[in-house]
């Protein structure tokens, strides 16, 4: 064995040994998290891995940075084959992969190594420029606790650039050395190395020993840097290089399973801690999310709370989880860090008051993430939707909110009346339950109970929702939709006084206990009538009953009215007047339709069918990237004290389209956008889809 082989073997063994130690430690930290089985529907998970992980579909939604990152990722996959070849050469210097391959494959191998090395070099140079010179807002961080590790990022990017340069230096100077047969080397699929070798030689010939030496320097630089790079990853924000594909496979952000569904809590479990106040109360997947964050800031740039000046930054939430885990886990995980654990045990026993005691005395909640941040969230899912590595920031926010409400009874005082109303009256405004069906008076709409008494059944249950039942403005939407159902001869019924809130607002506000009581009550009523199909004009009811009720045995086909209207109109079942006004309409996407369920085309199609002479215009942020109205996540019941009002920001975007009508498909959006229009002193009417359709209903003639 030569000295060079010996040195390489030593370095390789040390590096791999340390890497194995680091990886084992990180996996041990994950075990601190709560169980969360994620091996269901492997087919969908593999599809996510292929599309989001390998094809980089999410990262490519943004040009510039997206293309650069995708190029680096794909380049790494290709260049890694050459790196493995080099590792083998470290032990067996004569190993030459292209020589083992048929000539065309050797050509492709060499060419791919060159093209992707240069591609990565260009992409990385651009990324360094972007971080150091252009520095877009989302890379600047949001102050304390939302650190952006520029130094680390630039170090890692510089190492990658040097790795690529070393490949090119090695191969171009190698071309200037004799081949294995002693004759000159012929480049094979190496146009760039060939050009570089000629460039380096210039008019001044380089001696063979010098060329050999420079080539070896290139080889060793690459070999050593690969090992250094590998060992830096576990200790830097670039840990995502190792974990993002795994994270994408295990993600729940793009399926499988119900997208956006909150996990049920076991309220019978014997525990003092509901939800999460520290990292050990989160699931292992939440902790893996922390490892996988690239700190790209796409989530924060899309967050309506953040961009309107609130404290909340979803990137900070995820980074805080990682920071807290790396701070606390070494003190708790057996074998992770024996010396520090010993200190922790001493601290717990009160024998020393040192740094470990301080660490154990802190919590993720309050010491890293404040209440103010948590209550600013509208649950719009823009963060989740934008994350290129399938992180679910919202899950952490929800778990911490649960802890605040259920374990600590800490929540904004404005929420108390909503909780009381839900608990005592079955609606968050404490309206009298007896008035729930009052909107239907004189409309000849049967209740389920009435139909049952007559021995009849409805095809469809119209679930009206609390807003649609009690809010004066939303009741007009309810009436309009009921008129359309009647005009289309749909055999439908309502629950009337038997309807009560399904509990979704309580769940989003962290009160899982109240939610489960309400949800189970609603399911009992629905199952009692053997309901199969439900239609509703509220996206929150639609999401809750269709996506989360199955957790408690409520299985129904739930259809949002935008989709149902589109079907009725497409089937020609809605009698409409000919012609109509030449409206210019801007449609505002509800988060619980557009992002949670990707229902974006159906409402637009319904509008186009019902209003054939209408012009549809789109606001700057639209469809699955539409800006939230600000009402979700319980924000409807909270004062918006900091920054600009989200509904005003959204209304400005809608008004900027020049539309003469704003269309919505959610009673909460209706309230928020109407308030926004008032705040802007504008006169643009805000109409629900069903109101726009109902306005064009052909009245039955006396003969008909």
Q: Is 593 in the site for ligand SF4 (CB under 6 A)?
A: no
| Residue 696 per-residue DSSP state | T
Rounded to a whole number of angstroms, the minimum distance from the CB of residue 312 to ligand SF4 is 6
How far apart, in whole angstroms, are the C-alpha atoms of residue 487 and residue 110? Answer: 70
* Residue 335, φ and ψ in degrees, nearest 5: 80, -10
Q: Report residue 546 as tokens.
A: 């269709």
Given a contact cutoff of 8 angstroms between Cβ atoms, the answer to whether 200 and 206 are in contact is: yes
3-state secondary structure 166-223: HHHHHHHHHCCCECCCCCECCCCCCHHHHHHHHHHHCCCCCCHHHHHHHHHHHHHHHH
Q: Is 299 in the site for ligand SF4 (CB under 6 A)?
A: yes
How far apart, in whole angstroms, are the C-alpha atoms of residue 146 and residue 144? Answer: 6
Q: What is the CA radius of gyration of the chain?
A: 31
User: Of residues 377, 460, 479, 488, which one binds ligand SF4 by CB under 6 A?
Assistant: 377
Which CB, 421 or 676, lies closer to ligand SF4? 676
Q: Is 383 in the site for ligand SF4 (CB under 6 A)?
A: yes
Per the rule left: phi > 0, alpha: psi between -120 and 50, beta: everything else, 302 is alpha
Which CB, 383 or 506, lies closer to ligand SF4? 383
Q: Is 226 in the site for ligand SF4 (CB under 6 A)?
A: no
Q: Report residue 308 as tokens.
A: 């309107």
Q: Is 254 in the site for ligand SF4 (CB under 6 A)?
A: no
Per the rule left: phi > 0, alpha: psi between -120 and 50, beta: everything else, 617 is beta
Rounded to a whole number of angstroms, the minimum distance from the CB of residue 698 to ligand SF4 is 42
Rounded to a whole number of angstroms, the minimum distance from the CB of residue 596 to ligand SF4 is 11
Q: Is 389 in the site for ligand SF4 (CB under 6 A)?
A: yes
Site of tokens 């002479």: 613
Range in contact with ligand SF4 (rule: CB under 6 A) among 206-214, 290-298, 571-579, 663-671? 290-298
> For 362-492, where are the alpha helices, taking DSSP H only?
364-367, 371-375, 382-386, 393-402, 415-425, 448-453, 465-470, 472-487
Cα angle 234-240-244, degrees, rounded to a multiple of 5: 130
Q: Is 259 in the site for ligand SF4 (CB under 6 A)?
A: no
How many Cα atoms are found within 13 Å in the side-chain-facing hemisphere of 244? 24
What is the per-residue binding string for ligand SF4 in 464-493, x denoting contact by CB under 6 A?
Answer: ------------------------------
How far apart, in whole angstroms, are the C-alpha atoms of residue 137 and residue 303? Answer: 13
Range in contact with ligand SF4 (rule: CB under 6 A) among 384-392, 485-493, 504-512, 613-621? 384-392
Q: Is 548 in the site for ligand SF4 (CB under 6 A)?
A: no
Range in contact with ligand SF4 (rule: CB under 6 A) among 380-388, 564-572, 577-585, 601-609? 380-388
Rounded to a whole number of angstroms, the minimum distance from the CB of residue 287 to ligand SF4 is 13
User: Of residues 303, 336, 648, 689, which one binds ligand SF4 by CB under 6 A?
Assistant: 303
Rounded to a whole number of angstroms, the minimum distance from the CB of residue 143 to ligand SF4 is 15
Helices H / strands E in the chain, number of each: 32, 8
How many Cβ atoms are within 10 Å of 110's Cβ, its own excluded?
Answer: 22
How far apart, in whole angstroms, are the C-alpha atoms of residue 222 and residue 163? Answer: 5
Rounded to a whole number of angstroms, the minimum distance from the CB of residue 360 to ligand SF4 is 27
Q: Is 382 in the site for ligand SF4 (CB under 6 A)?
A: yes
Taking the CA atoms of residue 124, residue 127, residue 128 and residue 134 in that order, the dihedral angle to the nearest 10 degrees is: 160
Q: Is 378 in the site for ligand SF4 (CB under 6 A)?
A: yes
Rounded to a whole number of angstroms, the minimum distance from the CB of residue 127 to ligand SF4 is 14
User: Of residues 157, 223, 288, 293, which one binds ligand SF4 by CB under 6 A?
Assistant: 293
Range in contact with ligand SF4 (rule: CB under 6 A) among 150-158, 314-322, 402-410, 495-503? 314-322
Given a contact cutoff of 8 angstroms between Cβ atoms, the answer to whether 19 and 235 are in contact is: no
User: Of residues 71, 175, 227, 305, which one binds ligand SF4 by CB under 6 A?
Assistant: 305
User: Of residues 153, 168, 380, 464, which one binds ligand SF4 by CB under 6 A?
Assistant: 380
Given CA atoms 44, 49, 50, 53 in this order, what sign does their dihedral have? Answer: positive
User: Of residues 120, 387, 458, 655, which one binds ligand SF4 by CB under 6 A?
Assistant: 387
How far apart, in whole angstroms, are the C-alpha atoms of residue 612 and residue 569? Answer: 12
Of 223, 226, 2, nearest to 92 by C-alpha is 2
Which CB, 196 or 305, lies closer to ligand SF4? 305
Q: Is 295 in the site for ligand SF4 (CB under 6 A)?
A: yes
Range in contact with ligand SF4 (rule: CB under 6 A) among 10-18, 311-319, 432-440, 515-523? 311-319
Q: Is 638 in the site for ligand SF4 (CB under 6 A)?
A: no
User: Of residues 156, 239, 318, 593, which one binds ligand SF4 by CB under 6 A?
Assistant: 318
| Number of residues lying near ligand SF4 (CB under 6 A) | 28
Rounded to a whole number of angstroms, the minimum distance from the CB of residue 159 to ligand SF4 is 20
Given a contact cutoff of 8 angstroms between Cβ atoms, the answer to whether 110 and 190 are in contact is: yes
Which CB, 379 or 536, lies closer to ligand SF4? 379
Which CB, 303 or 344, lies closer to ligand SF4? 303
Rounded to a whole number of angstroms, the minimum distance from the CB of residue 382 to ligand SF4 is 4
How far apart, in whole angstroms, are the C-alpha atoms of residue 296 and residue 65? Answer: 9
Site of tokens 């060499």: 110
Range in contact with ligand SF4 (rule: CB under 6 A) among 54-62, 382-390, 450-458, 637-645? 382-390
For residue 400, the Cα-to-chain-centroid distance in whole angstroms is 17
Footprint of ligand SF4 on this chain (CB under 6 A)? 293-299, 302-305, 312, 314-315, 318, 377-383, 386-387, 389, 391, 393-394
């Amino acid at each position: 064995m030569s000295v060079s082989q010996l040195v390489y073997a030593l370095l390789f063994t040390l590096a791999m040994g340390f890497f194995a130690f680091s990886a084992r430690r990180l996996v041990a930290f994950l075990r601190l998290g709560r169980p969360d089985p994620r091996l269901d529907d492997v087919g969908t998970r593999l599809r996510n891995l292929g599309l989001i992980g390998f094809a980089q579909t999410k990262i490519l939604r943004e040009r510039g940075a997206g293309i650069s990152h995708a190029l680096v990722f794909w380049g790494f996959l290709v260049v890694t084959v050459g790196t493995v070849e080099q590792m083998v050469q470290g032990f067996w210097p004569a190993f030459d992969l292209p020589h083992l391959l048929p000539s065309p494959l050797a050509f492709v191998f060499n060419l791919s190594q060159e093209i992707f090395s240069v591609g990565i070099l260009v992409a990385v140079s651009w990324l360094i420029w972007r971080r150091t010179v252009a520095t877009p807002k989302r890379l600047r961080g949001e102050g304390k606790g939302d650190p952006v590790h520029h130094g680390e990022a630039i170090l890692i990017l510089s190492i990658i650039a040097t790795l690529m340069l070393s490949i090119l230096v090695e191969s171009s100077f190698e071309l200037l050395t004799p081949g294995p047969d002693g004759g000159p080397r012929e480049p094979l699929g190496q146009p760039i190395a060939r050009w570089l070798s000629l460039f380096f030689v210039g008019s001044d010939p380089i001696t063979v020993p010098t060329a050999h030496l420079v080539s070896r320097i290139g080889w060793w630089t690459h070999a050593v840097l690969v090992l250094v790079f590998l060992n830096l990853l576990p200790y830097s924000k670039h840990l995502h290089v190792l974990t993002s594909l795994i994270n994408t496979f295990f993600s729940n952000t793009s399926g499988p399973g119900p997208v956006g569904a909150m996990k049920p809590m076991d309220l019978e479990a014997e525990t003092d801690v509901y939800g999460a106040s520290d990292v050990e109360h989160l699931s292992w997947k939440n902790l893996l999310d922390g490892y996988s964050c690239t700190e790209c800031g796409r989530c924060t740039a899309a967050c309506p709370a953040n961009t309107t000046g609130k404290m909340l930054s979803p990137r900070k939430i995820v980074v805080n989880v990682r920071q807290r885990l790396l701070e606390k886990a070494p003190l708790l995980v057996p074998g992770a860090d024996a010396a520090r654990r010993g200190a922790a045990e001493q601290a717990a026993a009160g024998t020393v008051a040192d740094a470990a005691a301080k660490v154990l005395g802190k919590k993720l909640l309050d010491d890293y993430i404040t209440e103010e941040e948590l209550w600013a969230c509208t649950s719009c899912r823009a963060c989740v939707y934008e994350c290129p590595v399938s992180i679910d920031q919202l899950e952490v926010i929800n778990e911490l909110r649960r802890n605040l409400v259920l374990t600590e009874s800490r929540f904004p005082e404005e929420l108390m009346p909503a909780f009381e109303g839900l608990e005592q009256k079955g609606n968050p405004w404490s309206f009298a339950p007896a008035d729930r069906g009052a909107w239907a008076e004189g409309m000849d709409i049967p209740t389920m109970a009435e139909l049952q008494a007559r021995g009849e059944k409805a095809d469809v249950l119209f679930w009206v929702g609390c807003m649609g039942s009690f809010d004066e403005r939303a009741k007009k939407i309810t009436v309009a939709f009921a008129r359309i159902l009647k005009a289309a001869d749909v055999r439908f019924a309502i629950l009337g006084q038997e309807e009560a809130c399904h509990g979704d607002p309580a769940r989003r506000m962290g009160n899982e206990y109240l939610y489960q009581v309400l949800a189970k009550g609603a399911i009992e009523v629905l199952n009692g009538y053997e309901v199969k199909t439900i239609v509703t004009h509220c996206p929150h009811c639609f999401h809750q009953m269709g996506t989360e009720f199955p957790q408690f045995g409520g299985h129904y086909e739930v259809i949002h009215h935008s989709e149902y209207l589109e079907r009725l109109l497409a089937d020609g079942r809605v009698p409409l007047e000919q012609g109509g006004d030449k409206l210019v309409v801007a449609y505002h996407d509800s988060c619980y339709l557009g992002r949670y369920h990707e229902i974006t085309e159906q409402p637009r199609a319904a509008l186009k069918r019902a209003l054939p002479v209408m012009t549809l215009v789109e606001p700057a942020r639209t469809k699955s990237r539409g800006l939230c109205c600000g009402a979700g996540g319980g924000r409807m019941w909270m004062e918006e004290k900091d920054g600009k009002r989200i509904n005003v920001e959204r209304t400005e975007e809608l008004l900027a389209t020049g539309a003469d009508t704003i269309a919505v498909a959610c009673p909460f959006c209706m309230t928020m956008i109407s308030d926004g229009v008032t705040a802007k002193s504008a006169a643009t009417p805000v109409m629900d889809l069903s109101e726009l359709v109902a306005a064009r209903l052909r009245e039955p003639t006396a003969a008909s």
